[in-house]
A and B are shown apart, each in its own frame.
Chain A
């Protein structure tokens, strides 16, 4: 089982900041990055762009990003912009 190197609880008010924080750790992290979205009801375009950037960083560094507790509406948003294949999901 892979080691969770970074675990972040995402707050709806500061999704972008939290994602940027996760992105900054991509260079050094060893293991998975787990982001808890269970408190996030909606995401906005800036958060979505931040997620795209995070996905690119993760791809570049070969890091697996696991999203936990994503609600169906947000999952559908990620699906529409074709981001779901770039993350792993756990409930």
Chain B
């Protein structure tokens, strides 16, 4: 096996038009103007109009198939008249059969489930080059495609096929005109020069070039700067594998290679035959009228049909009979010989017959293995046939698959003739065509069999899609005093209570222990009272494994419950990579990193909250602290949501005042952000609004009177209800700011939220500098929702602006009541220190995913501004923020 690249363009069409006379330019301009007028008028036609015209044209073409075939053979001296009749009939009848029911005008396809409609628009004026090898059939085919798609065409036939082509255009045009097509819809250059082609290819009113021909024409088309369908030459390799039906294969190859004397560019060029069947195959060829050349004959043949200078086929041989070619080469062959076969030992310039041969001469190669056979086929494919056609004969599906993978060909024809197979609709279900797209391998824009859809601009009308939404919370939520007793109903052989030291000290762990079912082995895992670190999580997972736990009871605040969620994740799916799972995402349903669904262990998570703020007992979130990088890592997935939530106020009765205030404001922030979230829905808003009412009413009481059972109970429920809202609507920019600030300055989450809250309400209620893209909401509503909240709280006000101001004021008043510091400055952070931190804070806040559902997209400068407002303190919010503009 030996190879060498041989591909060289044969004809170059100059793009210079300098030598055109004024008269010639006027003539060409007239053609374009006429076509342009016709194309414009054609846009008014309906589907029925074009279908009527197309049918008439097809019948006219069929009626003249023999006449045009005879003209073509007489003029070009190529091919076989009988085969050209068949080609003309394929170009009309088979094309019609494919397109007759296809819609090409107006709405052509609808996808109701995707809210998409495709509308077809014509291209306009098409400049079409047609080849000498398939002259009339190509013209008939292109005319039918053009009318079906309401386009006008200017034809430039190959100069040696001008008469038959112009006659084909005339037959099509007259038929089209008679049945209502616009005058001027087709025209044919009366004679042409390469300069004519260059002029038309670059004409501003020519919308598309459809060049079927040699590489020079195709390259010129693509070089013109116009959209082009350039389809070029091939060099079809055939792998005849040993499992193939040899009788079928040999007949198919002969019929294909001799069809119209091999002028179809998809026809077979080199057959690579497995060693095991090589001799038998050649014998069969011989029996069916093929002459097998010996070494000397092969040399003579190559010398006469391949140009030694260029390495390409001699034009004089194209489309000639095998006997004539033999005579030309000085070979003695039997009369009636159909095909000449020349064995070759490699591919490339040293093996002249390994290139494209559009005449009945076929190269054959004996391959010692599948591997060698595939490599030789690749070599042939790359020797001038990239992107075109390849053929395989085999009964082995694996071989066929492999062949398809390694060939660079728009058409891989299996167990059938290459030329007729590639034309489509005869031996297979390929789209019928007379132009083979060769993809980028052939320097083309498509690998398709060129068809009506390449003559259309298809527009897509995309209606707004109502995205699916959700409301997901734990299956079971038990609330009110002594709700913890419900734990008893869950069977368990081994339960781990995850908690922190204070819960043990004040006896809460014992309360839970008493509520566990009898016979359950119980182990208590005490973790530090802080946001969990990875090492704490992994210790917990070890304990879960050691005790073979089937139930976790998380008893504590948000940190404990978050830790238990992550322990459960790592226990059930030990391979889960927390760093990877924390990867950012925009839409939960489209996230890149998916949470594991394969579980090694199964464990139930019961969450008992001992603070009234985070609502972690019902949320799908968990926060880890990454101490090394000084940041928090947020995990979010509904698989993290606890299985059971217990909202029992007995566990919060002893909360200190500061914690009551901070967690209560955290709850209010959740509710306020969920209420205006761009991911919000009626399902989340009702929860958010209810939680806000409860916080404003009961938080001051719980703060002032910590033993007030009703206030504690209501605040505990409010935290859970707010969490159900933000679990499904997410939070907003307040959380993004608080996360960044809290992590940097070690300020508790609830307190950090409180410092930002009034400023964020004012900010969100103003007309956004940038809106957040959200398919869930129509219009900008945040300020109206804040006004609705003000109404719910009975804050008064007549206009939206007044109501928002009142809400900001009421929030500030609540913060004052709770003894929350008025500003970041009040925390003892100096202006200089804060100023130094601002760039990093702003960056962290912008990177935080929390704001993605904020109704207003924050700019970096706006985040910085909000930080500074929080630094300066509240009181400014109600004076400054809201008054900006509330005119949405």
Contact = CB atoms under 8 A, between A and B. Distances in A.
Interface of A: 42-46, 48-49, 73-74, 76-78, 80-81
A45 B44 contact: no
A77 B44 contact: yes
A46 B44 contact: no
B712 interface: no
Nearest to B39: A80
Given A45-B41, A46-B183, A73-B43, 19 more contacts: A42-B44, A43-B41, A44-B41, A44-B182, A45-B34, A45-B37, A45-B38, A45-B183, A48-B37, A48-B40, A48-B41, A76-B43, A77-B41, A80-B36, A80-B39, A80-B43, A81-B36, A81-B37, A81-B40
Interface in B369-393: none
A74 B183 contact: no
Contacts of B34: 45
B121 to A, nearest CB: 10
A74 B37 contact: no
Interface core residue of A45, A73, A78 (most chain B CB under 10 Å):
A45
29 contacts: A42-B41, A42-B44, A43-B41, A44-B41, A44-B182, A44-B183, A45-B34, A45-B38, A45-B41, A45-B182, A45-B183, A45-B184, A46-B183, A48-B37, A48-B40, A48-B41, A73-B43, A73-B44, A74-B44, A76-B40, A76-B43, A77-B41, A80-B39, A80-B40, A80-B43, A80-B124, A81-B36, A81-B37, A81-B40
Contacts of B124: 80
A74 to B, nearest CB: 7
Interface in B171-189: 182-184
Contacts of A74: 44
B152 to A, nearest CB: 10
Contacts, number: 37
Interface string B64-89: 00000000000000000000000000
Interface string B15-41: 000000000000000000010111111
Contacts of A73: 43-44
A70 to B, nearest CB: 12
A78 B41 CA distance: 9
Interface core residue of A73, A78, A80 (most chain B CB under 10 Å):
A80
Given A44-B183, A80-B124, A49 B37 contact: yes
A45 B183 CA distance: 6
Interface in B31-62: 34, 36-41, 43-44
Contacts of A80: 36, 39-40, 43, 124
Contacts of B182: 44-45
B847 to A, nearest CB: 49
Contacts of B43: 73, 76-77, 80
A74 B36 CA distance: 15
Interface string B105-125: 000000000000000000010
B134 to A, nearest CB: 31
Nearest to B40: A80
Nearest to A76: B43
A37 to B, nearest CB: 13
B320 to A, nearest CB: 44
Nearest to B122: A80
A15 to B, nearest CB: 12
A77 B43 CA distance: 7
Contacts of B183: 44-46
Contacts of A43: 41, 44
Contacts of B41: 42-45, 48, 77
A49 B44 CA distance: 16
B41 to A, nearest CB: 5
Contacts of B37: 45, 48-49, 81
9 A-B pairs with least C-beta separation: A80-B40, A45-B183, A77-B40, A42-B44, A73-B44, A45-B37, A81-B40, A48-B37, A45-B182
Nearest to A52: B37
A81 B182 CA distance: 14
Nearest to A81: B40
A87 B182 CA distance: 23
A82 B182 CA distance: 18
Nearest to A74: B44
A78 B37 CA distance: 9
Nearest to A49: B37
Contacts of A46: 183
Interface in B160-206: 182-184
B749 to A, nearest CB: 59
Contacts of A49: 37
Nearest to A73: B44
A48 B184 CA distance: 12
A45 B36 CA distance: 10
